[in-house]
Amino acid sequence: MELRHLRYFLAVVETGSTVKAAERELVAQPSLSRQLRSLESRLGIELFVRDGGRLHLSPAGERFLPIARDLLVRAGHAQTTLCALAAGRPPRLTVAAPPTTVADVIAPYIATTTQADPFITVREELLTAAYTTLSRGADLAISSAPPPLHLAWRLLARLPIWAYVPDGHRLHRRDHVAVVELIAEPLLLLTPDHGTRRRFDNAVLDTGQACDVAFETTVPQIAQALAAAGRGVAVVSDDPRYGLRPLAVRTPHGELSIDVYAAWDPTHYAAETLAALAADLSAYCVRAYGPAVAPP
């Protein structure tokens, strides 16, 4: 099985016909069709069924599709790495992470790297989708959700969740606030698909009471901006902005925090480099935020 067979297969899947696939791949249609038949012969399965002149994946083809995509992604990574090694350059790695982690951890970390370190690019993803990006081109995924068991991973940090208040607020001279006190305030929260919000919701549930949600947003900076404007108390995990006062949020189990994980495919061609990158990111978090955020 050759890589061009996989490319032709994916081209037919995405265009729906061998004619359009051949045009896209710049090969003759009879040649592409022969290559597909050769691939089916090698695999011992039929990949497509015809429906009114259009090709659709067979059940076996549906199962083969993610395998083919994964193989091409891996091949692309390998080629990039070999070219970099041949030129004496470090590998180029893609990190997928939520926007807050990108802004407060990944981007500042990249600023500390040198030309001898891997070239890091970033893809912003919600935490619920971060790990799925490892099969779609990302090399390292960062999320507050525990990684799937088939991945290699490292706990980077345990970052605090803050309640942010402006000067003049009744709490602004405090350095902490209990959840039972906080729920009486108009709250500016992230939407429920954020890990920070889910951690806070669980803490509220433990009180047996309800909280006053003044506003929900997908952007932590907006929550802080609204808090600075006196619209309520922002509960987020990102760094302070707009002159707000951060208060630690206390629960019966300790101060509210969120775990941040890095995960990667253990069979990745640069698995050792990714493990070292995860260790460096963890050390950066401790340097930036203090020893209290170090993983237990």
Domain ranges of the chain: 3-75, 90-158+259-293, 162-255
Alpha helices in the chain (DSSP H): 3-15, 18-25, 29-43, 59-86, 99-101, 107-110, 179-182, 195-207, 220-228, 271-289
What per-residue confidence (pLDDT) applies to 127?
Answer: 64
What per-residue confidence (pLDDT) applies to 130?
Answer: 83
Question: Could you tell me the pLDDT band of residue 194, with boundaries at 50, 70 and 90?
Answer: confident
pLDDT tens digit string along 5-33? 888 888 988 888 888 888 888 889 898 88
Domains 3-75 and 162-255 share a fold: no
Residue 154 has pLDDT above 70, yes or no: yes
For residue 77, give every residue at least 6 positions away whose Cβ sits within 8 Å of its Cβ, in sequence order, or none.
Answer: 139, 268, 269, 270
CA distances from 83 to 79, 86, 89 (A): 6, 5, 8
Range with lowest mean pLDDT among 66-75, 138-147, 153-162, 168-177: 66-75
Residue 151 has pLDDT above 90, yes or no: yes
**CA–CA separation, 249 and 257 (whole Å):** 8
Enclosing H/E stretch for 185: none
What per-residue confidence (pLDDT) applies to 226?
Answer: 94
Strand, helix or coil for residue 187: strand
What percentage of the chain's residues is helix, strand, coil (to nearest 5)?
A: 45, 25, 30
Question: Could you tell me the pLDDT band of residue 86, with boundaries at 50, 70 and 90?
Answer: low
Give helix 18-25 / helix 29-43 axis angle, nearest 10°.
110
Enclosing H/E stretch for 293: none
Question: Could you tell me the pLDDT band of residue 83, with boundaries at 50, 70 and 90?
Answer: low
Residue 152 has pLDDT above 90, yes or no: yes
Enclosing H/E stretch for 34: helix 29-43
Residue 283 has pLDDT above 70, yes or no: yes
Strand, helix or coil for residue 2: coil
pLDDT tens digit string along 207-229? 888 888 889 998 888 999 999 99
**CA–CA separation, 271 and 263 (whole Å):** 10
CATH fold for domain 90-158+259-293: D-Maltodextrin-Binding Protein; domain 2 (3.40.190)
Enclosing H/E stretch for 284: helix 271-289
**CA–CA separation, 260 and 244 (whole Å):** 24
Cα dihedral 272/276/278/281 (nearest 10): -160
Mean model confidence pLDDT for the chain: 86
Per CATH, the architecture of 162-255 is what?
3-Layer(aba) Sandwich (3.40)
What six digits make up the tokens of 142?
A: 């960062």
What per-residue confidence (pLDDT) applies to 81?
Answer: 63
What length is written for the chain?
296
Backbone φ/ψ region at 255: left (φ over 0), alpha (ψ -120 to 50), beta: beta
Residue 206 has pLDDT above 90, yes or no: no
Per CATH, the architecture of 3-75 is what?
Orthogonal Bundle (1.10)
Closest CA to 175 of 245, 100, 102: 245
